[in-house]
């Protein structure tokens, strides 16, 4: 048997031993829980910071991209408007240049024709004959006492080639030194035809929109 003293001591030790250690697991668990909470809190803070940073970056990126697109669109529209204006002005200036060139060419051609006629008619006075022939056929056939006024230098030529036709229609030739060689004037009782060079040239120049007098050198 175990002596009573020992049994009592054992019981007190046993009880003391049992009562000394229950506090330790609770303290360790509390520390662990506190550390775990700190870790979780820090992790949550970091994750929140990262998420906020990512979201903020994305929002900023999207807004910046949209702003850049808007600015690019406005700049492109302004550029298109400027180019359209330049093209319109260019086309207008080109059309004006074309009209000016056409007018200049017509003036040049008219001047050349004027110079050629003034040079050719004295050399080829027979060019007057078709004019007289056309006048004979255009005037009414029943008209008599028709006078054909010519430059004295053209009289012989006309009589040589149109004597019979003039006599058939009862036309008479009148010399008029005021009429330039190559032209004529026809007068009847009811009609008058001015086929002088100056008059014929003025009709042609007017039809072409030109203002070049026949007497211009």
Report the C-alpha gap between 150 and 175 in whole angstroms: 5
pLDDT of 77 above 60: yes
Q: How many contiguous H segments (helices) and E segments (strands) does the chain have? A: 5, 4
Residue 100, pLDDT score: 60
* Secondary structure E strands in the chain: 146-150, 171-175, 184-187, 192-195
Residues linked to residue 174 through DSSP beta bridges, in sequence order: 149
The count of residues in the chain is: 217
Percent of the chain past pLDDT 90, that is, above it, reads 7
pLDDT in tens, 40-54: 777 777 777 677 767
pTM of the model: 0.44
Out of 20-29, 41-50, 177-186, 208-217, the most confident range is 177-186
pLDDT band at 176 (very low <50, low <70, confident <90, very high): very high
**Are 151 and 180 within 8 A, CB to CB?**
yes
Query: CATH code for 125-207?
Result: 3.30.2320.30
Mapping DSSP to helix (H, G, I), strand (E, B) and coil, where does residue 211 land? Answer: coil
Residue 93, pLDDT score: 72
Per-domain boundaries in the chain: 35-123, 125-207
């Amino acid at each position: 048997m175990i002596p009573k003293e020992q049994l009592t001591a054992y019981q007190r030790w046993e009880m003391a031993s049992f009562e000394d250690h229950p506090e330790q697991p609770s303290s360790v668990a509390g520390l662990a829980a506190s550390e775990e909470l700190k870790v979780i809190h820090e992790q949550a803070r970091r994750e929140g910071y990262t998420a906020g940073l990512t979201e903020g970056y994305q929002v900023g990126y999207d807004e910046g991209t949209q702003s850049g697109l808007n600015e690019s669109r406005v700049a492109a529209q302004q550029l298109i408007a400027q180019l359209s204006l330049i093209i319109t002005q260019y086309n207008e200036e080109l059309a004006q240049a074309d009209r000016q060139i056409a007018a200049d060419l017509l003036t040049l051609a008219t001047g050349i024709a004027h110079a050629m006629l003034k040079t050719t008619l004295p050399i080829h006075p027979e060019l007057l004959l078709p004019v007289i022939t056309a006048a004979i056929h255009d005037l009414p056939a029943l008209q008599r006492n028709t006078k054909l006024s010519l430059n004295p230098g053209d009289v012989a030529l006309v009589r040589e080639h149109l004597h019979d036709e003039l006599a058939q229609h009862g036309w008479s030739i009148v010399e008029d030194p005021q009429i330039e060689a190559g032209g004529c004037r026809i007068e009847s009782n009811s009609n008058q035809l001015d086929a002088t060079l100056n008059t014929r040239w003025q009709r042609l120049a007017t039809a072409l929109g030109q203002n070049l007098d026949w007497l211009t050198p």
